[in-house]
Structure 1
Amino acid sequence: MTTDRPVDLRRLAIPAYGPSLLFGLGEGAILPVVALSARDLGASVPMAAAVVMLINVGSLLFNVPASVITHRFGERWAIVGAAALGVVASVLCALAPSLAVFASGVLLFGVSASVFMLARQSYLTEAIPAHYRARALSTLGGVMRVGVFVGPFLGAAAIQLTDLRGAYVVCGLALVVAGLVGALLPELPSRSTGSAATPVTVRGVLSEHRRTFLTVGVGIMLVAAVRASRQVVIPLWAENLGLSPQTASIVYGVAGGIDMLVFYPAGKVMDVRGRRWVTVPSMLVMGLALLAMPLTSGLVAFTVVSCVLGFGNGIGSGMVMTLGADFSPPVGRAQFLGIWRELSDIGATGGPALLSGFTALLSLGAAIAASGVIGLLAAVVLWRSVPSVTGRPPAPRPTRAGGS
């Protein structure tokens, strides 16, 4: 666990947060055009949607290998390598002569994101004192969201000057700078003393901390499912109400703006009052907002509920990373966080899938309400499993199975 040692936060600000801002910007630039690029290369609508999902698939498949890479080479070089891999993925997507090559580039971008996000979380977990941790990680999540918010506008400007490939050029350039800035990260003390050579296995970490993964980890999986469903719910319910795509985009943007405004205060509350004071209210607010969404029948009510949903998501910014950092062991941290991210990605993939299944079986309104129930269930799980005070959670009970 990170000790409460003095740390120069200003020295870390640009090298620690700059790459996240730039990676988010690059991701935001390409997300709106991946499906369109796939269509231009001959994909059907369902196939284009599947190509978009390859980003999540790449991340889901590579979280555990990413933890091994980060443990072996260190957080700084993992960030630099992930940025370089993202540049290669951007070039593949921009110059792809066929749908297969383009899909490979999209999948590779997901792999790059997996390594990058795990390494940046692992670095700040080690570098920042525990009493600043939630603020640091909430800011990390918030900065990434700012990048994703700004990216589409820069991508649109590049497309206006060229064509769809312009968005991938923006992404590639942003990741080049992200890699250069990431190379400026100060080396962690644990790296310079050689702790990276400590033999640790993913299986050992999973066995030793299985109780944590089966309690808080399940809560995190539910949180990710609710958050991912939120991104689908707003445009789908807008269409159900007969609103234009432009109106739906504006409502989504306003809700996203509220989301971005509250990440730092939420982190401070987690540091000062405890993790429960944010994790549980975040899921309660999101769950109740999702339950209220099917009851809206006009633009004003829909906008208000969407903004409440955005607020609930915003106050939870960084909570998944913070809890992962709290429970992660000093030895085997990268492996622990790789498993943690795997649980989160499973939830993020399963949430929209459950929404789709409930919609097919019942109706869109019932499916959205079911997502709300999952949010309330997540609040209950987090209330029962997250410590009520700040600081390190109780250590896991020793197990006879192979430890780390």
Structure 2
Amino acid sequence: MPTPSTPSTPSDHASFSLWRIAVPAFGPSLLFGLGEGAILPIVPLTARDLGASVPIAALMVALIGIGSLLSNIPASLITMRWGERWAIVAAGVWSGLGMLLCVGTSHLGLFAAGCFMVGMSQAVYNLARQSYMTEAVPLAYRARALSTLGGVMRIGMFGGPFLAAAAVHAFGLAAAYWVGIAAVLGAALVGARIPDLEAPPPATGQAAPASTTILSTLRDHRRVFLTLGLGVLLVSAVRASRQAVIPLWADHLALAPSTASLVYGLAGGVDMLVFYPAGKVMDHKGRRWVAVPSMLIMGLAMLMMPLTSGVTTLLLAALAIGFGNGIGSGMIMTIGADHSPRHGRAHFLGVWRLMSDIGSSSGPALLSFLAASLSLGAGIAVTGLIAFTAAAVLAYWIPR
């Protein structure tokens, strides 16, 4: 198997501080998350105003995820060609243009194109940011850095809807998109100030490595993709399903929408509180100390959820799901970074993120199919079993 990322030296560890790079490293992620969080609840409402049916309005939201899924490989090519810094800048500008198209058109087809552009920018941004942090941060701090990167993005996604709600209340539905545009362009401006990374030199006495392609990356790292990559796909399926599980089961219990929203919000709050401690554990103890418990906790909570019968028991299960998901913040990025080669890293991460997005798309689809063919409770329970399978795959294949 090809050699993973080269470890950093002790001198790198002594001089490095996450706090010193906080604004350039995590500022764009916070702003990008705010921008996307601001528009996501508004997209289906805008589509309905443009005459879309309920299923078509839901499709407009799905187009953002589809745009990201289909753009992972192109994102790796863009990052390899232009570098991480300019890929981050381009992603912010392209997202802003997509949101501008959404707010400036009365044609549903053009609105759909704008949503797709937002998804495309998401793929480019996420890949470039992960690639940059993997190279810029010493190995001893990698999990903390990438967990914080994921956690800050979640904070932005959590806060974005509240900013949008205030703007919509004051200025109307279109104001949410202007909040989003300002945030993603702000992310591009902050991203433009981060220093460029220099290409790693070849080892002493070795010739410069041959250029990589997507096909050569798939060939050289096929064992990683077929083992840990499968685990990543399963983890992403569980994580994506959790977003539907809580509100759907709350509706099944005939809880008021406000109660369901409160339960979902509290689970999200727990999710955002534990990302840094989890990253520290991964750095000091190893990746499996967090990856495996994350999936076991989520799996157990999913299996318990169909047994809940009221607000209290549902809240306990939801909080457990939030905690399990929260400690896994940055886990997929960290494992991918550990196995990515220094030369051709963007190609590797493009495939890695593609597998993650396939899982994110498949999880809710499987839940929907099982709920329709069997029952919602059976669908949630199967999702819990998938989480246990993911834990087993990660426990076996993550290097000790």
Alignment TM-score > 0.5, same fold? yes
Tell me the secondary structure at the aligned position of residue 110 of structure 1. helix
* Correspondence for 1:257 among 261, 269, 278: 269
Note the C-alpha offset of 1:68: 0.7
* Correspondence for 2:8 among 4, 11, 16: 4
Contact 2:200/2:342 (8 A) holds in 1: no
**Unmatched 5+ residue regions in structure 2?**
none
Give the whole-Å Cα distance in 2 for the aligned partners of 1:12 and 1:96.
39
Does 2:69 match 1:60? yes
Contact 1:90/1:109 (8 A) holds in 2: yes
Tell me the secondary structure at the aligned position of residue 359 of structure 1. helix
Does 2:153 match 1:144? yes
Contact 1:74/1:191 (8 A) holds in 2: no
Q: Which position in structure 1 is the counterpart of 2:143? A: 134
Give the whole-Å Cα distance in 2 for the aligned partners of 1:77 and 1:46.
37
Note the C-alpha offset of 1:3: 3.6
Note the C-alpha offset of 1:11: 4.0
Note the C-alpha offset of 1:196: 12
The C-alpha deviation readout for 1:285-329, integer Å capped at 9, x for no partner, is: 001100000000010000010000000000000000000000101
* Correspondence for 2:220 among 201, 208, 215: 208
Does 2:168 match 1:159? yes
* Correspondence for 1:312 among 324, 332, 335: 324
* Correspondence for 1:50 among 52, 56, 59: 59
Contact 1:135/1:264 (8 A) holds in 2: yes
Q: Which position in structure 2 is the counterpart of 1:175? A: 184
Tell me the secondary structure at the aligned position of residue 172 of structure 2. coil
Pair 1:385–1:69, CA change in 2 (3 A):
same
Note the C-alpha offset of 1:50: 1.0
Q: Which position in structure 2 is the counterpart of 1:15? A: 24
Contact 1:74/1:196 (8 A) holds in 2: no
* Correspondence for 1:367 among 352, 355, 379: 379
Does 2:286 match 1:274? yes
Contact 1:290/1:371 (8 A) holds in 2: yes
Note the C-alpha offset of 1:176: 1.1
Does 2:129 match 1:120? yes
Give the whole-Å Cα distance in 1 for the aligned partners of 2:208 and 2:170.
46
Contact 2:26/2:152 (8 A) holds in 1: yes
Give the whole-Å Cα distance in 1 for the aligned partners of 2:209 and 2:42.
42
TM-score by length of 2: 0.95
User: Structure 1 stretches (4+) deviating beyond 4 angstroms?
Assistant: 195-198
Give the whole-Å Cα distance in 1 for the aligned partners of 2:188 and 2:253.
44
Tell me the secondary structure at the aligned position of residue 199 of structure 2. helix
Pair 1:14–1:46, CA change in 2 (3 A):
same
Does 2:294 match 1:294? no
The C-alpha deviation readout for 1:63-94, integer Å capped at 9, x for no partner, is: 00100100110000000000000110110111
Pair 1:196–1:340, CA change in 2 (3 A):
farther
Note the C-alpha offset of 1:192: 9.9
* Correspondence for 1:217 among 229, 242, 249: 229
Contact 1:2/1:128 (8 A) holds in 2: no
**How many residue pairs were aligned?**
387
Give the whole-Å Cα distance in 2 for the aligned partners of 1:154 and 1:126.
33
The C-alpha deviation readout for 1:93-123, integer Å capped at 9, x for no partner, is: 1112111111100000000000000000000
Aligned residue identity for 1:203: L
Tell me the secondary structure at the aligned position of residue 387 of structure 1. coil
Give the whole-Å Cα distance in 2 for the aligned partners of 1:38 and 1:166.
15
Note the C-alpha offset of 1:9: 3.5
Contact 2:200/2:343 (8 A) holds in 1: no
Does 2:86 match 1:77? yes
TM-score by length of 1: 0.94
| Greater Cα shift, 300-309 or 3-12 | 3-12
**Unmatched 5+ residue regions in structure 1?**
389-404
